[in-house]
Amino acid sequence: MRILIVGDMVGSPGRAAFARVVGQMRQKGEVDFVVANAENAAGGRGITGPLAREILDAGADVITLGDHAWDQKDLVTFIEKEPRVLRPANSAPGCPGRGWISVDTPGGRVTVLSVVGRVFMAPHFDCPFRTVDQVLKPDAGLGKVIIVDIHAEATSEKIALGRHLDGRVSAVVGTHTHVQTSDETILPKGTAYLTDLGMTGPHDGVLGRELAPVLKRFITGLPSPFDVATGDVRLEGLLVTVDAETGRAQKVKRVRERVEK
């Protein structure tokens, strides 16, 4: 089973790149299942219900989010109606929605689990390590193929979670930094790993935003709106080939597709 996992999708350039690249891959039969992080899909801030529908229609099987999950307030009600959109599983008790889902596909069951890190992140998230242990109980019926999105700032925390889950899940991939790392690997017990998938969106500014207002904020501290950048649009992520019988990763291929205008 070939599973494409896509890094943080930013604004309309990111959504267009996702639709184009994933549409082509689906058409050519190059991918069986697609997970997309879309926490910045709505102009860089969160995601709305209609945009989630658009991304699912464009080829995502499951959408993961992160610390920007609630930036658009309509998601609070929408997420209760759409289980394919995940908020972090270690969100505080009382948050709507779910942090994992099992999807039955022609190739077998695929479970996607989303957690947020705690190093340099908001303090209201519970421990991601204890959360994954609670969710991944052997009798939970999640199937063999399990993908974990660790949405976190610190590389150490992501690597530690990858090692913690080695042999228990098919892939652990990082999101949130918007900068793709080059450490894709299959860990000793068969789990695919990449510290950060990168960003699906415009790369000519700063993490998907236009350069000038970000620079102004750094230099002067004065507020200015951060619009989504426009140039050097790419889809970034990881393509993992998984043995559906065992859940073990067989192959990892880092993806960086430039999308011409």
Known catalytic residues are 68
Q: Which residue is nearest to Fe ion (CB)?
A: 8
Considering only residues 2, 5, 8, 33, which one is a binding residue for Fe ion as defined by CB under 5 A?
8
Write down the least CB distance from residue 195 to Fe ion, Å.
14
Q: What is the number of other CB atoms lying within 10 angstroms of the CB of residue 245?
A: 10
Q: Are strands 249-258 and 233-242 parallel, antiparallel or unpaired?
A: antiparallel
Which of 40/111 has CB closer to Fe ion?
Answer: 40
Name the amino acid, one letter, at 240: V
What Å distances lie between residue 4 and 67, 194, 237, CA to CA?
22, 13, 7
Which of 146/150 has CB closer to Fe ion?
Answer: 150
Q: Are strands 108-116 and 145-151 parallel, antiparallel or unpaired?
A: parallel
Considering only residues 176, 209, 234, 248, which one is a binding residue for Fe ion as defined by CB under 5 A?
176
Q: Which part of the chain contacts Fe ion (CB under 5 A), choosing from 53-61, 140-148, 175-183, 218-226?
A: 175-183
Which of 176/234 has CB closer to Fe ion?
Answer: 176
Write down the least CB distance from residue 39 to Fe ion, Å.
5
Q: Tell me which H or E stretch contains 217.
A: helix 211-220
x-or-dash string of contact with Fe ion, 204-223, rule CB under 5 A: --------------------
| Interacting positions 65-84 with Fe ion (CB under 5 A) | 66-67
Return d(Cα 20, Cα 252) in angstroms, integer. Answer: 22
**Interface with Fe ion, residue 149, by CB under 5 A:** no
Return d(Cα 116, Cα 174) in angstroms, integer. Answer: 10
**257 Cβ partners below 8 Å, 6+ apart?**
17, 21, 234, 235, 236
How many residues interact with Fe ion (rule CB under 5 A)? 6
Write down the least CB distance from residue 152 to Fe ion, Å.
9
Beta-bridged to residue 249, according to DSSP, are 242
Phi, psi of 227 (to 5 degrees): -80, 155
Write down the least CB distance from residue 131 to Fe ion, Å.
17
Six-digit token string for 247: 């859940």
Q: Which part of the chain contacts Fe ion (CB under 5 A), choosing from 3-11, 79-87, 101-109, 134-142?
A: 3-11
| Interacting positions 37-56 with Fe ion (CB under 5 A) | 39-40
Residues lying near Fe ion in the complex (CB under 5 A) are found at 8, 39-40, 66-67, 176
